[in-house]
Structure 1
Amino acid sequence: MSASSDARGVDGRGEHKQRTREALIDAALTLFAAKGYEATSVDEIADWAGVSPRTFFRYFDSKDRVLFFGGDAYNAAVVRQLPDQPAELGDLAAVAATQRALSSMVAPLKNRIRLYFRAVQDSPQLLGQHSAALARHEASLADALATRRSLRAPDARCRMTAELVSIAIRHAYAGWLSSKRDLAEHIDEGFALLREIACQD
């Protein structure tokens, strides 16, 4: 077998794994939104995706990890790209610019995100895990902001900025999921509203 054939084989396996992972995520979200997280089994998710339960556990440790896989990756991208923003931007402006730049990778997932929030709001267990994941991201964002300001550890300003970012993003997503406008527009509006409120007496 030639080197090019080897490369095609590796690429093909990678594409197959990605398709399987995506199928499992879509199956889980559809079932969670339709019948509830607690009432959905791993066997049902695997069957819906056309794979075995054993295959499911090759990709995810548990059924809740299907939900948070994409969110964790996106939040990591925000933290990773934040230092690339111009130094002259303030903290909120830098995070807003980062979120806006990454909005194009989220836009194709609109229906999946809508199903995610539907599943979370109907499950106390998932709502708790969502809150915990949000807290972890806020802590990571505060760390990134501290690094950006050459601090050894996040100060009160870093932590509050991270919390305010969560509010602005939650507002942006709520508007986006119920409209036909681009997510980037809603992000701009969310952060603009935040700045407007902060500037009031």
Structure 2
Amino acid sequence: MTVGPAGAGGLRERKKQRTRDALARAALELFTTQGFEETTVDEIAEAADVSQRTFFRYYASKLEVAFAVQEAVEEHFLRSLRSRPPEEAPFEALRNSTLAAWDTMEEVIAEMVPVELHMRTYLVIESTPALLAAHIRRSLATEETISRIVAEREGLDADADPRPRLAVAAMSGALRVAARLWSEGSDHSVRAIRELAAYYLDHLTPALIGPWRD
């Protein structure tokens, strides 16, 4: 069978994606077994059976490859939020898209890395200052994107109306509490973090507006 120009192009792109995924998987395996700071680019390239030069064709640094899978997860959440029914209230849409993204995350990253490896990477991020600082910066940028999606859903100007940013900040705070408790616990499964996320998101509104004393 002869492969035409379009088919050849598609084959090249699939090969590139496989190499990119192999590098991400090799990097996360090394980060979670021997540490981020202790891992070199040469070790990642060797584990993926490519050259250092090839590594830098796909990723600018160890820091970038450390968040490659997380970036895919974040994009998945943003798609989930954009697809929520317009009749859902803002916080309801945020909650439902968060849980829906957890429920379908494996489908998104399965070809890149096992979900279990992705979850172990969270623990490395929490315990590595350079990764934690980068994670906080990335989270702030993602929160701004989410705020603008919420504002657009509601027909608001995100720069004039404080509600989208406040709602997203409140949600992010609840999720950070859930993630911290998850990382400190013994069950590091997707199910465990999803349950904690749902629990704290469901308690957020009562905590903000309801009385705390019986």
Tell me the TM-score normalized by structure 2.
0.78
Aligned to 2:12: 13
C-alpha spacing 1:83/1:180, structure 2 compared with 1 (3 Å): closer
Structure 2 residues without counterparts, runs of 5 or longer: none
Q: Provide the C-alpha distance between the structure 1 equivalents of 2:73 and 2:134, rounded to a whole number of angstroms.
A: 17
C-alpha spacing 1:74/1:148, structure 2 compared with 1 (3 Å): same
Residue 180 of structure 2 is aligned to residue 181 of structure 1 = no
Cα deviation 1:83-107 (Å, max 9, x = unaligned): 4322321111111222233334423
- 2:102·2:190 contact (CA, 8 Å) conserved in 1? no
- 1:168·1:187 contact (CA, 8 Å) conserved in 2? yes
Structure 1 residues without counterparts, runs of 5 or longer: none
C-alpha spacing 1:176/1:101, structure 2 compared with 1 (3 Å): farther
Q: Provide the C-alpha distance between the structure 1 equivalents of 2:168 and 2:96, rounded to a whole number of angstroms.
A: 14
Aligned length: 200
C-alpha spacing 1:181/1:114, structure 2 compared with 1 (3 Å): closer
SS of match in other structure, 1:181: helix
Cα offset for 1:178? 2.5
Q: Provide the C-alpha distance between the structure 2 equivalents of 1:172 and 1:127, rounded to a whole number of angstroms.
A: 13
Q: Which structure shows the higher helix fraction?
A: 1
C-alpha spacing 1:149/1:73, structure 2 compared with 1 (3 Å): same
1:132 to 137, 140, 161: 137
- 2:24·2:65 contact (CA, 8 Å) conserved in 1? yes
Q: Provide the C-alpha distance between the structure 1 equivalents of 2:186 and 2:209, rounded to a whole number of angstroms.
A: 25
C-alpha spacing 1:13/1:116, structure 2 compared with 1 (3 Å): same
Residue 124 of structure 2 is aligned to residue 119 of structure 1 = yes
Q: Provide the C-alpha distance between the structure 1 equivalents of 2:46 and 2:26, rounded to a whole number of angstroms.
A: 9
Cα offset for 1:172? 6.3
Q: Provide the C-alpha distance between the structure 2 equivalents of 1:83 and 1:31, rounded to a whole number of angstroms.
A: 35
Cα offset for 1:177? 5.7
C-alpha spacing 1:103/1:19, structure 2 compared with 1 (3 Å): same
Cα deviation 1:56-95 (Å, max 9, x = unaligned): 0111111100112222233234334424322321111111
Tell me the TM-score normalized by structure 1.
0.83
How high is the sequence identity, in percent, across the aligned residues? 32
SS of match in other structure, 1:87: coil
Aligned to 1:110: 115
SS of match in other structure, 1:189: helix
Q: Provide the C-alpha distance between the structure 1 equivalents of 2:59 and 2:150, rounded to a whole number of angstroms.
A: 31
- 2:174·2:204 contact (CA, 8 Å) conserved in 1? yes
Q: Provide the C-alpha distance between the structure 2 equivalents of 1:98 and 1:35, rounded to a whole number of angstroms.
A: 34
Summarize the alignment of residues 26-37 of structure 1 with structure 2, pairs less than 5 Å apart: 26-37=25-36
Letter in 2 for 1:114: M
SS of match in other structure, 2:86: coil
Of the structure 1 ranges 16-25 and 125-134, higher mean CA displacement relative to structure 2 is found in: 16-25
- 1:172·1:190 contact (CA, 8 Å) conserved in 2? no
Residue 161 of structure 2 is aligned to residue 162 of structure 1 = no
CA RMSD, aligned part only?
2.8
Aligned to 2:153: 148
